[in-house]
Amino acid sequence: MLNADPREAARYLGYHRTQPDAAVQALIEACITEVEAAAVPKSTHERFPLLFSGDETFLVASLHLKSRSLMRNLAGCDEVYLFAATLGIAVDTLIKRAALMDTAKGAVMQAAAAAVIEAYCDEENEKLREEAQSEGLYLRPRFSPGYGDLSLDCQRDFLNLLKAQKNIGLTVTDSGLMVPIKSVTAIIGISSTDNNCHLQGCEACSKSECTFRR
């Protein structure tokens, strides 16, 4: 059980401050249960020193990243975790199947799966936080390619570095999309100072016009 939040799924479905009616609420909860049953969640991470090379460019092992927003996020960090997680391919099939039989259920299943992967990432992120804490270190909010001005182009090198295909079955298409669909990659800064920043996910992103913003 991943404790996925039905409210998170509702938000992906466009409910902002409104509570879904009973039928939709029941459907959301049923879909979360189905996603959790089908999912084979897996994650992998590796810890690397962070090298700033100026001009908003970073070097993590062989990975070059250029982003102003990430620069802000990683200020004061000497190391990072590269992190990747996926719910597995059976969830892709589950969503497709639901959509084929009933469009409403398909849309809700999609949102439920998004809530489940977020919950799973939170859980794994927490383990990393504890690991860092035991060394007297602090973590920055996780930051994913696609947030702010960090381009998706880095996905292939990012996943190669983590051997994500072999370790957790996470692949990337030639157009930079991840398969299985319900997957997350993120950079998590490691710092010796706590910046008391609790912005996570949406709030850490600078895309204020995004439809799905919390």
Name the site residues for another protein (rule: CB under 8 A).
Answer: 13-15, 18, 20-24, 26-28, 30, 40, 42, 45-48, 61-63, 79, 88-90, 92-93, 95-97, 99-108, 110, 146, 151-153, 157, 160-161, 165-166, 168-169, 171, 173-177, 179-181, 209, 211-212
Q: Reduce the DSSP state of residue 197 to 3 states and report it.
A: coil
Q: How far apart are CA 60 and CA 45, in angstroms?
A: 13
Q: How far apart are CA 136 and CA 191, in angstroms?
A: 9
Q: Reduce the DSSP state of residue 73 to 3 states and report it.
A: helix
| Least distance from another protein to the Cβ atom of residue 51, Å | 13
Q: How far apart are CA 212 and CA 11, in angstroms?
A: 7
| Least distance from another protein to the Cβ atom of residue 96, Å | 5
Phi-psi map region of 207: left, alpha, beta (phi>0 left; psi -120 to 50 alpha): beta
| Least distance from another protein to the Cβ atom of residue 102, Å | 5
Sheet with strand 77-86: strands edge to edge? 42-49, 77-86, 183-191, 138-139
| Least distance from another protein to the Cβ atom of residue 198, Å | 26
Considering beta carbons, is residue 102 or 203 the nearer one to another protein?
102
Considering beta carbons, is residue 97 or 197 the nearer one to another protein?
97
Considering beta carbons, is residue 47 or 129 the nearer one to another protein?
47
